[in-house]
Amino acid sequence: MTTRQRILITGASSGLGEGMARRFAAQGRSLALAARRRDKLEALADELRPSAEHVEVETLDVTDVEAVPEVFGRLAAGLGGLDRVIVNAGLGKGAPLGTGKAAANIETVQTNLVGALAQAEAALEIFRAQNAGHLVLVSSISGVRGMPKAQAAYSASKAGLTALGQGLQAEFASSPITVSVVAPGYIETDINRGVKTSLMVETDKGVDALVKAIEAEKDWAPVPAWPWTPIAAALKFLPASVSRRLV
């Protein structure tokens, strides 16, 4: 398999995005990093430049859908093209619906689904022009089956993202453009802070599993593969009384 040398990662200033950037930089890849927090991006880029082949950074709020293609275009120009785009920027806000906190749920869907759609549009415009590329959508195990209470909107946003990926996989089957959907379970990051579960894995282990899954370029990959592959399969069929206790 050809090495994807020029990689764009959104949500790169912290969490899984930062972790992936560090792993790919250590392999000598060229990186285009985007996130809302410019100071953190610049600090990360300074750390990565000695090992990465090249690093470009751009400030980006993915809910600014008009800015997304402009930023992607500048980052692609800075690297001379893009071989892989990892749509990672995400939000975990949420509250039970009908409790007066609609703004948090709407913001989550705007970031995780509408923002991801804008990123996929921008990435695929570049890939179509190149006639090559790997689009990675970072979904979630929570998108396999609707979750209750504060997770409802988040779950719905990730289910939509997974469906988007499946549609694109059908469209680009047997083409030089590859689309992967990766679905992390509980990995220790800011988005999972406060969650108490025996299924949580430490950040480094989770990032290693995520990078491995992305490099494999499968259509669908729960992360880490164990125990989330069997759990994801079970979630589709288990009675609700059982499934709601798993995630």
Residue 209 inside a domain? The answer is yes
Residue 220 inside a domain? The answer is yes
Residue 110 inside a domain? The answer is yes
Residue 1 inside a domain? The answer is no
Q: pLDDT tens digit string along 86-96?
A: 999 999 999 99
CATH of the domain at 102: 3.40.50.720
pLDDT band at residue 236 under the 50/70/90 scheme: confident
Q: pLDDT tens digit string along 93-131?
A: 999 999 999 999 999 999 999 999 999 999 999 999 999
Residue of 24, 72, 127, 154 marked active site: 154
In 3D space, the residue among 97, 189, 175 whose CA is nearest the CA of residue 133 turns out to be 175
The pair phi, psi for residue 230, each rounded to 5°, is: -70, -35
pTM for this prediction:
0.94
Q: How many domains does the chain have?
A: 1
247 has pLDDT over 70: no
pLDDT band at residue 192 under the 50/70/90 scheme: low
Domain extent at residue 81:
6-243
Residue 206 inside a domain? The answer is yes
3-class DSSP string for the chain: CCCCCEEEEECCCCHHHHHHHHHHHHCCCEEEEEECCHHHHHHHHHHHCCCCCEEEEEECCCCCCCHHHHHHHHHHHHHCCCCEEEECCCCCCCCCCCCCCHHHHHHHHHHHHHHHHHHHHHHHHHHHHHCCEEEEEECCHHHCCCCCHHHHHHHHHHHHHHHHHHHHHHHCCCCCEEEEEEEECCECCHHHCCCCCCCCECHHHHHHHHHHHHHHCCCEEEECHHHHHHHHHHHCCCCHHHHCCCC
Per cent of the chain over pLDDT 70 is 94
Residue 148 inside a domain? The answer is yes
Q: Summarize the confidence of residues 68-74 as an average pLDDT.
A: 98
197 has pLDDT over 90: no
Residue 180 inside a domain? The answer is yes
Residue 12 inside a domain? The answer is yes
186 classed as catalytic: no
